[in-house]
Amino acid sequence: MPVISAPHEFNTEDLYVDLREMYGYPLHLKCEGFNFAGSIKLKAAASMIEAAERSGALTEGSTLVESSSGNLGLALSVIAAAKGYHFICVVDPRTNPATRKVIESLGSEVHTVSEPAAEGGFLAARLAYVREILASRPRAVWLNQHANPDNWRAHYRSTAPQIEKQFPDLEVLFVGAGTTGTLMGCARYFKELPRPVTVVAVDSVGSVTFGGPEGVRLIPGLGTGVRPALLDTSYIDDVVHVHEADTVRACHTLARGGFLFGGSTGTVVSGALRWLSEHRPGQNVTSVAIAPDLGERYLDTIYQPSWMRDVYGIDASDLPSGALQS
């Protein structure tokens, strides 16, 4: 029986969903949303805060500041509340309304950047606003998830070893690319092993992370308008880009099977299934995809029929009425 005194002390590490019956492919989904922040970002948040405390950069009376599309901001607000830090989260209009409300309910501030930068989009605009806050608040501390090595170290120390423990014969790992913290931590870990593991990054169409053209992206989580400083492509074997409409379809297919996941998970699942169908058709390959979040905070967007129709032209009648069978 787990007994904790702080919210970041608990995370479910050994829960997987076998998607073979639903899709016909041997893919296991590592569920990272069962903690008090509702996403994998709790690991990175705890790792970066603890490192800042050890270095003396973060002390009593400090104000945490971070740019986030949602999940990392919520994770930081959880830990900030537990530790007594003031936290300012800089978001943009794509951040789910439910996520903003949860961050504020935990006592943190939410600042919304309303206009994208001419180069780098909303991310560049958020980062510029963070720098304005730092210049005006001498006790402000920016963890900078996009460049902080303690972001990827969290997954090098926990996520990747836990996957290897459950799947010692792992052949292919699919990881979504946002800040690339999860991706780089896992990729570094598996590339140091004596046996080969194919690491496939899953990104959103419109993201510039892997050199593609910048485009409109409306689902928060994966993808960037500015290439993350953490990214080292020498550890990545392949990249799959997923259209947001396919993200929505994947989320709804999973939901028809009783699994309500978030947008990042839908993107990763869609990309993983496409890669397996193209590169390992008919093979009984041991593969794992990381599901970063759950779906409750996407009820006003991905799971809202009017939003799907207005944004992507997807009608509810076009979606599966039940889980796909092999």
The bridge status of strand 287-291 relative to strand 172-176 is parallel
pLDDT tens digits, residue range 135-155?
998 899 999 999 999 999 999
pLDDT at residue 92 greater than cutoff 50: yes
When the candidates are 3.40.50.1100, 3.40.1360.10, 3.40.1710.10, 3.40.50.700, the CATH number that belongs to 41-142 is: 3.40.50.1100
What's the pLDDT at 283? 82
Mean pLDDT computed over 266-273? 97
Distances (CA, A) of 170 to 32, 173, 174, 210, 287: 18, 8, 11, 25, 6
In whole angstroms, give the CA distance from residue 67 to residue 153: 19
**Residue 214 corresponds to which tokens in the numbers above?**
């910048």
What's the pLDDT at 70? 85
Topology adopted by domain 7-35+149-318 = Rossmann fold (3.40.50)
What's the pLDDT at 326? 33
Count the Cβ atoms, other than its own, within 10 Å of residue 69: 26
**Residue 312 corresponds to which tokens in the numbers above?**
């992507």
Distances (CA, A) of 296 to 10, 243, 300: 20, 21, 9
Question: For the ranges 14-18, 165-169, 247-251, 304-308, which has the lowest average pLDDT?
Answer: 304-308
What's the pLDDT at 311? 86
**Residue 210 corresponds to which tokens in the numbers above?**
């892997």
Domains of the chain, residue spans:
7-35+149-318, 41-142
What's the pLDDT at 321? 59
Same fold, 7-35+149-318 and 41-142: yes
What's the pLDDT at 128? 92
The model carries a pTM of 0.93
